Chain A
């Protein structure tokens, strides 16, 4: 059990590091959001589950926490992306096409 936990936490740490590296390397806000979802999904997810494997009494709770993260984490990414697009933050030059219309919302 402990070994599984250590492996899972290591995977989480590696992917969180890669997410941070991606944040620096990517050219614009949208691509940066892409790599930051990696840190929240596999990074946080496998770290939390790994802690659950290290302490088997917490396993069910950690799975529940991971489930809540899975349900709520995309919402922040989505809203950041939507707000950036609405505010007209330019996409990088490599972008091939932008089909999302710039619309006025009066809500």
Chain B
């Protein structure tokens, strides 16, 4: 993994903080804008050291488009999984088949693994328990086939297909 220089990380941190501030104070006036920019400037001086994996290249158009396309996809997955879990909760005999399965991930960066684990946990019915290297341990509420291949195919692969557009 190549290291980003400090300046790139600082610019990244500054832009993220400023955009966040602008969105929060949306119908903004001049004083708020200036105070926000100064605060972003000072805070980004301190936080830049922590963003080891980010830099100016995080703002390439392909990555931003990939991220924007990922949000509707994950929301749709959440709605579908929510309806399935709602059906399980409401059925009288509680047809659950829980298991802790092991799946493989092909994502390499820490940020990519974090996004994958978060996506899996956000989807009701699957819960990431641990990540160890390339292995992801997932608790499933209902799964028929507990083999590693099936878990990789049905749980991690479908998120990775979309995640790989903007993370490695």
A residues within 8 Å of B by Cβ? 15, 18, 21-22, 25-28, 30-31, 33-35, 37-38, 41-42, 45, 57, 60-61, 64, 70-71, 73-75, 77-78, 81-82, 85, 91-92, 94-100
Size class of the B contact interface (CB-based, 8 Å): 35 or more
Cβ contacts under 8 Å, B42 to chain A: none
B130 touches A82 (CB 8 A): yes
The answer to whether A74 and B121 touch across the interface, beta carbons within 8 angstroms, is yes
Given contacts A74-B122, A97-B101, A99-B102, whether A34 and B130 have CB atoms under 8 Å apart is no
Q: Given A34-B85, A38-B85, A100-B100, does the pair A78, B23 have CB atoms closer than 8 Å?
A: no
Question: How far does the alpha carbon of A8 sit from the alpha carbon of B165 in the complex, in Å?
Answer: 31
Determine whether the beta carbon of B97 is less than 8 Å from that of A42. Answer: no
29 A-B contact pairs sorted by A residue (CB < 8 Å): A15-B82, A15-B86, A18-B86, A21-B89, A22-B85, A25-B89, A25-B94, A27-B94, A38-B86, A41-B124, A42-B82, A61-B26, A71-B118, A74-B122, A75-B118, A78-B117, A78-B121, A78-B127, A78-B128, A81-B128, A82-B130, A91-B100, A94-B98, A96-B97, A97-B100, A97-B146, A99-B137, A99-B146, A100-B100
Instruction: Kindly count the residue-residue contacts between A and B in the assembled complex, taking CB atoms under 8 Å apart.
Output: 119
CA distance A85 to B139 in the complex (A): 11
